[in-house]
Amino acid sequence: MSPVPSQVLDVATPGDELLRRVVGDFARNRIRPLAGELDATERFPAELYREMAELGLFGVTVPAELGGAGGTALDYLSVMEGLSYGYASVADQCGLVELVGTLLAEDGTPPQRERYLAPLLRTERRCAYALTEPGAGSDLGGVRTRARRRASGGWTLTGEKIFIHNAPVADFAAVLAVTDPERGKRGGVSVFLVDLDAPGVSRPYREHKMGQRASPVGGLVFDEVVLGDDALLGEEGQGFRAMMRVLAKGRLGIAGLALGISRAALDAAAEHAASRRQFGRPIGVNQAVAFPIADMVTEYRAALLLALDAARLLDSTACSMAKLFATEACVRHTATAVQIFGGSGYIQGYEVERLYRDARITTIYEGTSEMQRLIVSRAVLGRLDGGAG
């Protein structure tokens, strides 16, 4: 039971109440008890994902007639927050399926949806979302992975992707590749659906990460991989626009994920402030301990309101603001929780030690905080460089 009274945390959330309860129970009863073990072993919790598929927690906003839950962006936000309260890696998997599922639902042909979307939502096939390359991180204009048309039909794909979530375990990937170098990212980049058991695909390594350690991340190498015409997802040349479109929802999801980590840190800090005694009384009696908790809960609520607004609008600037604020707050909150725990906050096996590590990536992936500030500042100032940067 959370030591933080629910009226302090809850704002009127218009998402589906039953869904919130299902996610809350699942996070408390199934995810949280496993989080420490998953962090220590870096194990991929396939059994949790099967249960989540049965509960309809994959493809939250994918229309029901395509096998999704048919929910709203608000539902998605609340699912991400709730799962992440259990363990951020589990929410991360939900977010990945949501992104690839949305791409397939919006741009996939009926055969592509049948082949990839339906089995993805049932967790029979696992996906990856492959944008980043050694020379292309914040600036996806640097993508060099190249898809060339073959005279006999179809495409060949050559290039390298790095830091790809699920790369070590995925069955297929949505891959961003250059189809027309002359036209650059506006019109010259496309998305391809690539089966990762195809000849020419390799996954040479798996990374070991600071946090969210049950989310497997690694590289993908494509060496003259032969693809059919039906591997192209959406229109040729529209890949950058498609990826950017789903990234707004992705950023909303990461705001939710960060909120879930913050709430777990807040719970742990509040419980410890009330139960740990020094100088003959609970440490929370000291304002030096109590006030940071007041700041945490205030910022949690502000971040949640910003995210709810972004879920309602689902526009790029609002989603960037929500991600920026929630993730930066999450990094601060987990550091505060470690401080309130004193020495034990630094010891493996204490939840706040893991939360501190899990939080750190949230200001980096799906666009760094600096990239969110760039998007928000351009909404205010426009492109002062005339579009050069």
Ligand X SMILES: Cc1cc2nc3c(=O)[nH]c(=O)nc-3n(C[C@H](O)[C@H](O)[C@H](O)COP(=O)(O)OP(=O)(O)OC[C@H]3O[C@@H](n4cnc5c(N)ncnc54)[C@H](O)[C@@H]3O)c2cc1C
Query: What residues are annotated to the active site?
Result: 366
The interface region with ligand X, picked from 234-242, 319-327, 339-347, 367-375 by CB under 6 A, is 367-375
Q: How far is the CB of 283 from ligand X (least distance, A)?
A: 34
The residue with its CB nearest to ligand X is 137
Using the rule CB under 6 A, which residue among 130, 248, 252, 307 binds ligand X? Answer: 130
Q: Does residue 377 belong to the site contacting ligand X (CB under 6 A)?
A: no
Identified binder of ligand X from the candidate list 131, 268, 306, 352, rule CB under 6 A:
131
Say whether residue 375 binds ligand X (CB under 6 A).
no
Exposed e or buried b per residue across 38-57, where buried means at least 16 C-beta atoms within 10 angstroms of its C-beta: bbeebebbeebbeebbebbb
Query: In this chain, which stretch among 28-36, 193-201, 339-347, 361-369 interacts with ligand X, using CB under 6 A?
Result: 361-369
User: Which region among 11-19, 33-41, 160-168, 260-268 touches ligand X (by CB under 6 A)?
Assistant: 160-168
Nearer residue to ligand X within complex by CB, 136 or 335: 136
Question: Is residue 165 near ligand X by the rule CB under 6 A?
Answer: yes
User: In this chain, which of 13, 156, 339, 368 binds ligand X, going by CB under 6 A?
Assistant: 368
Both structure tokens of 280: 């003959």
Spatial separation of the C-alpha atoms in residues 85 and 25, rounded to whole Å: 11
Q: Taking a C-beta distance cutoff of 8 angstroms, is the pair 274, 282 a contact?
A: yes
Tell whether residue 376 is a contact of ligand X (CB under 6 A).
Answer: no
CB of 365 to ligand X, least distance (A): 4
Are 263 and 307 in contact, with CB atoms under 8 Å apart?
no
Check: CB of residue 155 under 8 Å from CB of residue 148: yes
Q: How far is the CB of 284 from ligand X (least distance, A)?
A: 34
Which is it for strands 127-130 and 172-178: parallel, antiparallel or unpaired? parallel
Cβ within 8 Å of residue 189, ≥6 positions away: 140, 143, 176, 177, 178, 179, 237, 239, 240
Distance (Å, whole) CA 289 – CA 273: 7
209 lines the binding site for ligand X (CB under 6 A): yes
- 132 vs 320 by CB, closer to ligand X: 132
- Least Å distance, CB 333 to ligand X, is 20
**Does 194 contact ligand X by CB under 6 A?**
no
Q: In the complex, what is the shortest distance from the CB of residue 92 to ligand X, in angstroms, rounded to a whole number?
A: 8
Q: Is 140 in the site for ligand X (CB under 6 A)?
A: no
Nearer residue to ligand X within complex by CB, 66 or 131: 131
Q: Which is nearer to ligand X, 76 or 341 (CB)?
A: 76
Q: Which is nearer to ligand X, 93 or 336 (CB)?
A: 93
Q: Which of 60, 83, 105, 217 binds ligand X (CB under 6 A)?
A: 217
Closest distance between ligand X and the C-beta of residue 359, in Å?
Answer: 12
- Least distance (Å) between residue 5 CB and ligand X: 34
**Between 194 and 289, whose beta carbon lies closer to ligand X?**
194
Footprint of ligand X on residues 264-303 (CB under 6 A)?
none
Interacting residue with ligand X among 48, 97, 103, 164 (CB under 6 A):
164
The answer to whether 127 and 166 have CB atoms below 8 angstroms apart is: yes
| Interacting residue ranges for ligand X, rule: CB under 6 A | 129-132, 137-138, 163-165, 209, 217, 361, 364-365, 367-368, 370-371
